[in-house]
Amino acid sequence: MGFFGRSDPSDPEELRRRMVETQIERRGVADPTVLEALREVPRHLFAGGRSLREAYADRALPIGRGQTISQPYIVALMTEALEPEPGLDVLEIGTGSGYQAAVLAACGMRVWSVERIGELQEEARRRLQEAGYADRVMLRTGDGAEGWPEEAPFDRVIVTAAAGEVPPALREQLAPGGVLVAPVGGRSFQKIVRLRKGEDGRWTREELESARFVPLVTDQ
């Protein structure tokens, strides 16, 4: 019966439930806050006008300007890796379609999101407004490698584009005790890593999963 099984392909709420069950929970994502956020956020609003079947499929989707909306599982994995908690302040680098920002907001966090491509940022703003998350997501067009220093420090940092290493400014803008999640590696292959900044300023690093992200667009 394929991905949809007996679900109604015209019911977005049912498709989200099935997406979480088949694509996310079965791969080991277990944080109840993250799972509920993925069930809540209307991914089809952020999928560039694609059909419901495409919007909830188990793959990344192009959104124009050489950018993509990440596979649902990768969004869930990275969100869980952040260890989300309501009330935390999150810096996101790479707004893209706005979907990851919406998921973070649905987890109860406040989001500051930076996007280098102005047209994508404006589209994301409209989508976040339509989906009901605009009041919890602050947007800026700029160089993601520079972060958002005026609002630092942040409890969490998430990077949704690939770089050979995490830009130093993003490390500096993470508060002691905070968590940073990012894809690190070359243009065609990366590892999603989780960095923890200890209260003493020391760093620990974990490699979580292989991935393929578009490159971080930066002036540096």
**Phi, psi angle pair for 205, to nearest 5°:** -135, 135
Nearest 10 degrees: CA dihedral of 183, 137, 21, 212? -20
- β-strands 89-93, 154-159 pairing: parallel
Please pick, among 7, 10, 51, 70, the residue that the annotation labels catalytic: 70
Query: What is the rounded CA–CA span in Å between residue 10 and residue 63?
Result: 22
The separation between CA 87 and the C-alpha centre of its own chain, rounded to angstroms, equals 17
Assess contact for 102 and 79: CB atoms under 8 A: no
Tokens of 50: 């694609």
Nearest 10 degrees: CA dihedral of 179, 182, 184, 187? -170
Query: What is the rounded CA–CA span in Å between residue 26 and residue 28?
Result: 5
- Check if 210 is active-site: no
Q: Given the structure tokens 């930066």, which residue do they identify?
A: 218
User: Mind spelling out the 3-state secondary structure of 105-124?
Assistant: HHCCCEEEEEECCHHHHHHH
Query: What is the rounded CA–CA span in Å between residue 181 and residue 163?
Result: 12
Catalytic residues: 70
